[in-house]
Amino acid sequence: MKKVKILSTGSYLPPKVLTNFDLEKMVDTSNEWIVTRTGIKERRIADENVATSDLAVEAAKKCLDKVGYKPEDVDTIIVATITPDMFFPSTACVVHKKLGGKNEPTAFDISAACSGFIYGLTIAEGLLKTGKSKNLLLIAADTLSKFTNWQDRNTCVLFGDGAGAMLLTAVDTENESDDAVISTYLGADGNYGELLYLPAGGSKMPASIETVEKKLHTIFMSGKEVFKVAVTKMVEAVIKSCELAGIQPQQLDLIIPHQANLRIINAIGERLNVDPTKIFVNVDKYGNMSASTVIVGLDEAISEGKVKNGSLVCLVAFGGGFTWG
């Protein structure tokens, strides 16, 4: 049996910054209210002519460049996104083309909302361990700002745009490696679907003048209900993943939770009885970037020296569906 080795990571954030003070001019809100409720101070926003694939490509290039890999060295591209460039072709195929399109890899998207990167990592682990892939590029990218109701003070303060990438390969079990995937755990419950969703645009409610006028192509969320389940399920995911790895949560060097809300992040640390310094936070700078939050967080933690060779790190996320892992 092989194990999965992490070769490199990369991330990309659009240059445009939207602060809470900017939002004060757009909706009935205040910097104090936003920071108190969410911990968010600013977020990144992609320009109108920038698509999700553009962010994904920039993150992928940074990831590949770190280890001197070329796009054609990659035989599998997985993109986790809920804001694809279009229904089809997949954003992964668009990314392949924009990276040069010199080979013929496996390429597909997955949709698991904010848990997308964790779901993708689990799929990647299976493909690599079974020999179906040798060098796999896993990308999480979203442009939630394009699907946000900028007149809804409860949701428009939450979301930002960004992308992160991870390059993975398979190595023999006896190969010494401190930067390998040890365990993964996933869960879902479709009964909660309409607590966090984007109603229109699919086969159930195709795009029309009416759906656009009613802003049904934007994110709807029942915040209080989501909060309760998010904390419970992310704590559960950390505990179960640690059990599979044969360790206790307190042995982790760093936990990188989905960056949706600082109160959720703090609640996770408290329930796990983990030192607050071991909980990574960057929600204040970027807001909720959907699936990309955990990989952007990991890439940032590595660059800041918070994650080193041999560090025990847990990525944990929760998203629409509900999904978690």
Known catalytic residue: 217? no
Q: Are 42 and 63 in contact (CB under 8 A)?
A: no
Q: Are 307 and 298 in contact (CB under 8 A)?
A: yes
Q: Which of 96, 242, 261, 288 is catalytic?
A: 288
Which segments within the chain are labelled E, that is strand?
A: 2-12, 17-19, 42-44, 76-80, 106-110, 135-143, 161-172, 187-188, 196-197, 220-221, 254-257, 313-316, 318-319, 323-324
Residue 254 per-residue DSSP state: E
Known catalytic residue: 114? yes
Known catalytic residue: 309? no
Q: Which of 323, 303, 311, 4 is nearest to 164 (CA)?
A: 303
Q: Are 119 and 80 in contact (CB under 8 A)?
A: yes
Give the chain's length. 325
Q: Which of 304, 305, 312, 246 is nearest to 274 (CA)?
A: 312
Q: Are 289 and 261 in contact (CB under 8 A)?
A: no
Q: Which of 63, 114, 156, 314 is catalytic?
A: 114
Q: Which of 63, 93, 96, 258 is catalytic?
A: 258
Residues taking part in catalysis? 114, 258, 288
